[in-house]
Amino acid sequence: MTLRLVIFDVDGTLVDSQGDILGAMSAAYASEGMERPSREAILSIVGLSLPQAFSVLAPDLGAVQRTRLVEGYKDAYAGLRMTGGPEASPLYPGIPALLDRLSARDDVLLGIATGKSRRGLTALLESQGLTQLFVTRQCADGNPSKPHPAMLYTAIEEAGVEAEHAMMIGDTSYDMEMARAAGIARIGVTWGYHPREALVDAQHVVDDAAALERAIGNILGEMS
Protein backbone atom coordinates (compact mmCIF):
# COMPACT_ATOMS: atom_id res chain seq x y z
CA MET A 1 0.00 0.00 0.00
CA THR A 2 1.31 3.45 -0.96
CA LEU A 3 0.82 6.13 1.68
CA ARG A 4 -0.23 9.56 0.42
CA LEU A 5 -0.03 12.83 2.37
CA VAL A 6 -2.75 15.48 2.14
CA ILE A 7 -1.49 18.76 3.61
CA PHE A 8 -3.87 21.56 4.55
CA ASP A 9 -3.40 25.23 5.19
CA VAL A 10 -5.49 26.39 8.18
CA ASP A 11 -6.72 30.01 8.09
CA GLY A 12 -9.04 30.49 5.13
CA THR A 13 -8.90 26.80 4.20
CA LEU A 14 -10.05 24.73 7.17
CA VAL A 15 -11.37 27.54 9.38
CA ASP A 16 -12.79 31.01 8.86
CA SER A 17 -10.61 32.73 11.43
CA GLN A 18 -10.86 36.27 10.12
CA GLY A 19 -12.76 37.44 13.22
CA ASP A 20 -9.93 36.40 15.53
CA ILE A 21 -7.27 37.63 13.11
CA LEU A 22 -8.84 41.07 12.75
CA GLY A 23 -9.48 41.30 16.48
CA ALA A 24 -5.90 40.40 17.34
CA MET A 25 -4.60 42.88 14.77
CA SER A 26 -6.78 45.61 16.28
CA ALA A 27 -5.41 44.89 19.74
CA ALA A 28 -1.79 44.78 18.53
CA TYR A 29 -2.01 48.10 16.71
CA ALA A 30 -3.95 49.73 19.57
CA SER A 31 -1.19 48.71 21.99
CA GLU A 32 1.20 50.78 19.86
CA GLY A 33 -1.21 53.69 19.51
CA MET A 34 -1.59 53.04 15.79
CA GLU A 35 -4.51 52.73 13.43
CA ARG A 36 -5.15 49.21 12.23
CA PRO A 37 -4.76 48.54 8.50
CA SER A 38 -7.86 47.78 6.45
CA ARG A 39 -9.56 44.40 6.51
CA GLU A 40 -8.49 43.81 2.92
CA ALA A 41 -4.84 44.55 3.69
CA ILE A 42 -4.84 42.24 6.70
CA LEU A 43 -6.50 39.34 4.91
CA SER A 44 -4.09 39.70 2.01
CA ILE A 45 -1.16 38.72 4.27
CA VAL A 46 -2.86 35.76 5.96
CA GLY A 47 -0.57 32.79 5.46
CA LEU A 48 2.69 34.66 5.94
CA SER A 49 4.57 34.27 9.21
CA LEU A 50 3.87 37.16 11.58
CA PRO A 51 7.26 38.91 11.21
CA GLN A 52 6.92 38.89 7.43
CA ALA A 53 3.25 39.87 7.62
CA PHE A 54 4.06 42.96 9.67
CA SER A 55 6.94 43.78 7.36
CA VAL A 56 4.36 43.97 4.57
CA LEU A 57 1.71 45.80 6.60
CA ALA A 58 4.08 48.25 8.30
CA PRO A 59 7.26 48.48 6.17
CA ASP A 60 8.23 51.89 7.56
CA LEU A 61 8.39 50.77 11.19
CA GLY A 62 11.61 49.85 12.89
CA ALA A 63 12.38 46.24 13.75
CA VAL A 64 11.81 46.76 17.48
CA GLN A 65 8.31 48.15 17.04
CA ARG A 66 7.41 45.44 14.51
CA THR A 67 8.55 42.85 17.05
CA ARG A 68 6.25 44.44 19.64
CA LEU A 69 3.38 44.22 17.15
CA VAL A 70 4.13 40.53 16.59
CA GLU A 71 4.11 39.79 20.31
CA GLY A 72 1.01 41.90 20.85
CA TYR A 73 -0.78 39.99 18.11
CA LYS A 74 0.24 36.61 19.57
CA ASP A 75 -0.97 37.55 23.05
CA ALA A 76 -4.25 38.97 21.79
CA TYR A 77 -4.89 35.96 19.54
CA ALA A 78 -4.22 33.55 22.41
CA GLY A 79 -6.68 35.45 24.58
CA LEU A 80 -9.33 35.35 21.88
CA ARG A 81 -8.86 31.61 21.38
CA MET A 82 -9.25 30.99 25.11
CA THR A 83 -12.50 32.94 25.36
CA GLY A 84 -14.06 32.49 21.93
CA GLY A 85 -14.45 28.72 21.61
CA PRO A 86 -14.86 26.85 18.32
CA GLU A 87 -17.55 29.19 17.02
CA ALA A 88 -15.07 32.08 16.93
CA SER A 89 -13.09 30.41 14.12
CA PRO A 90 -15.62 27.97 12.65
CA LEU A 91 -14.73 25.16 10.30
CA TYR A 92 -15.99 25.85 6.78
CA PRO A 93 -19.08 23.94 5.61
CA GLY A 94 -18.32 20.35 4.70
CA ILE A 95 -14.79 20.38 6.12
CA PRO A 96 -15.47 18.27 9.26
CA ALA A 97 -17.01 15.44 7.23
CA LEU A 98 -14.23 15.65 4.64
CA LEU A 99 -11.53 15.39 7.31
CA ASP A 100 -13.34 12.45 8.92
CA ARG A 101 -13.52 10.56 5.63
CA LEU A 102 -9.89 11.24 4.73
CA SER A 103 -8.59 10.30 8.17
CA ALA A 104 -10.54 7.01 8.02
CA ARG A 105 -8.56 5.90 4.96
CA ASP A 106 -5.65 3.56 5.60
CA ASP A 107 -3.70 4.96 2.64
CA VAL A 108 -3.98 8.67 3.53
CA LEU A 109 -2.12 10.72 6.10
CA LEU A 110 -3.11 14.28 6.96
CA GLY A 111 -0.80 17.20 7.61
CA ILE A 112 -0.82 20.95 8.21
CA ALA A 113 1.36 23.73 6.82
CA THR A 114 0.40 27.12 8.24
CA GLY A 115 1.81 30.56 8.88
CA LYS A 116 0.37 30.45 12.40
CA SER A 117 2.60 30.19 15.44
CA ARG A 118 2.79 26.86 17.26
CA ARG A 119 0.85 28.32 20.17
CA GLY A 120 -1.90 29.67 17.93
CA LEU A 121 -2.16 26.45 15.95
CA THR A 122 -2.35 24.28 19.06
CA ALA A 123 -5.06 26.45 20.59
CA LEU A 124 -7.12 26.37 17.41
CA LEU A 125 -6.85 22.61 16.88
CA GLU A 126 -7.74 21.95 20.51
CA SER A 127 -10.81 24.18 20.32
CA GLN A 128 -12.02 22.34 17.23
CA GLY A 129 -11.16 18.83 18.47
CA LEU A 130 -8.76 18.24 15.56
CA THR A 131 -5.51 17.64 17.43
CA GLN A 132 -5.28 13.91 16.73
CA LEU A 133 -6.01 14.05 12.99
CA PHE A 134 -2.68 15.35 11.69
CA VAL A 135 0.55 13.35 11.67
CA THR A 136 2.64 16.42 10.87
CA ARG A 137 1.92 20.02 11.84
CA GLN A 138 4.25 22.59 10.33
CA CYS A 139 3.92 26.21 11.43
CA ALA A 140 5.85 29.48 11.37
CA ASP A 141 7.94 28.58 14.42
CA GLY A 142 11.18 27.11 13.15
CA ASN A 143 10.31 27.37 9.45
CA PRO A 144 10.84 30.12 6.87
CA SER A 145 7.63 31.92 5.94
CA LYS A 146 5.53 30.81 3.01
CA PRO A 147 6.05 30.69 0.08
CA HIS A 148 9.40 29.10 0.97
CA PRO A 149 8.86 25.32 0.63
CA ALA A 150 10.78 24.29 3.77
CA MET A 151 7.72 23.41 5.84
CA LEU A 152 6.46 21.13 3.07
CA TYR A 153 9.81 19.37 2.85
CA THR A 154 9.67 18.80 6.61
CA ALA A 155 6.07 17.60 6.50
CA ILE A 156 6.88 15.08 3.78
CA GLU A 157 9.91 13.83 5.71
CA GLU A 158 8.00 13.51 8.98
CA ALA A 159 5.17 11.61 7.28
CA GLY A 160 7.61 9.28 5.55
CA VAL A 161 6.16 9.70 2.06
CA GLU A 162 7.64 10.65 -1.29
CA ALA A 163 7.02 14.13 -2.72
CA GLU A 164 5.13 12.65 -5.67
CA HIS A 165 2.65 11.21 -3.15
CA ALA A 166 1.90 14.53 -1.42
CA MET A 167 -0.49 17.40 -2.14
CA MET A 168 -1.13 20.86 -0.70
CA ILE A 169 -4.53 22.50 -0.23
CA GLY A 170 -4.77 26.21 0.49
CA ASP A 171 -6.57 29.46 -0.18
CA THR A 172 -3.68 31.84 -0.93
CA SER A 173 -1.09 32.45 -3.59
CA TYR A 174 1.54 31.75 -0.91
CA ASP A 175 0.22 28.19 -0.49
CA MET A 176 0.26 27.51 -4.21
CA GLU A 177 3.71 29.04 -4.75
CA MET A 178 5.07 27.01 -1.85
CA ALA A 179 3.61 23.76 -3.19
CA ARG A 180 4.88 24.44 -6.70
CA ALA A 181 8.37 25.12 -5.34
CA ALA A 182 8.23 21.84 -3.41
CA GLY A 183 7.14 19.97 -6.53
CA ILE A 184 3.90 18.60 -5.09
CA ALA A 185 0.29 18.58 -6.28
CA ARG A 186 -1.77 21.60 -5.29
CA ILE A 187 -5.44 22.55 -4.97
CA GLY A 188 -6.64 26.12 -4.44
CA VAL A 189 -9.90 26.85 -2.62
CA THR A 190 -11.91 29.98 -3.32
CA TRP A 191 -13.70 30.40 0.03
CA GLY A 192 -10.66 31.86 1.77
CA TYR A 193 -8.78 35.15 1.75
CA HIS A 194 -7.19 35.43 -1.71
CA PRO A 195 -9.31 35.85 -4.85
CA ARG A 196 -9.54 33.12 -7.47
CA GLU A 197 -7.31 35.05 -9.86
CA ALA A 198 -4.48 34.94 -7.32
CA LEU A 199 -4.39 31.12 -7.39
CA VAL A 200 -2.53 30.95 -10.68
CA ASP A 201 -0.15 28.23 -9.47
CA ALA A 202 -2.98 25.87 -8.49
CA GLN A 203 -3.52 22.76 -10.60
CA HIS A 204 -7.16 22.59 -9.47
CA VAL A 205 -9.35 25.40 -8.11
CA VAL A 206 -12.52 24.45 -6.21
CA ASP A 207 -15.47 26.35 -4.80
CA ASP A 208 -16.82 24.07 -2.07
CA ALA A 209 -15.94 21.06 0.06
CA ALA A 210 -17.69 18.60 -2.26
CA ALA A 211 -15.58 19.79 -5.21
CA LEU A 212 -12.49 19.68 -3.01
CA GLU A 213 -13.17 16.05 -2.10
CA ARG A 214 -13.54 15.16 -5.78
CA ALA A 215 -10.29 16.92 -6.65
CA ILE A 216 -8.45 15.17 -3.82
CA GLY A 217 -9.85 11.84 -5.01
CA ASN A 218 -8.73 12.50 -8.57
CA ILE A 219 -5.18 13.34 -7.46
CA LEU A 220 -5.02 10.34 -5.12
CA GLY A 221 -6.08 8.16 -8.03
CA GLU A 222 -3.33 9.59 -10.20
CA MET A 223 -0.79 8.83 -7.43
CA SER A 224 -1.70 5.13 -7.25
**Residues marked as catalytic:** 9, 11
Whole-number Å distance between alpha carbons of 83 and 133: 23
By CB atoms closer than 10 A (0-12, 13-18, 19+), residue 156 is: buried
Handedness of CA 116, 118, 123, 125 (dihedral sign): positive
User: Which residues does 39 contact at the CB level (< 8 Å), separation at least 6?
Assistant: 18, 22
Whole-number Å distance between alpha carbons of 6 and 29: 36
Whole-number Å distance between alpha carbons of 58 and 46: 14
148 with 181: CB under 8 angstroms? yes
End-to-end CA gap in the chain? 9
User: Alpha carbon of 133 to those of 7, 111, 222: distances in Å?
Assistant: 11, 8, 24
Whole-number Å distance between alpha carbons of 6 and 152: 11
SS3 content of the chain, % helix, strand, coil (to 5): 50, 15, 35
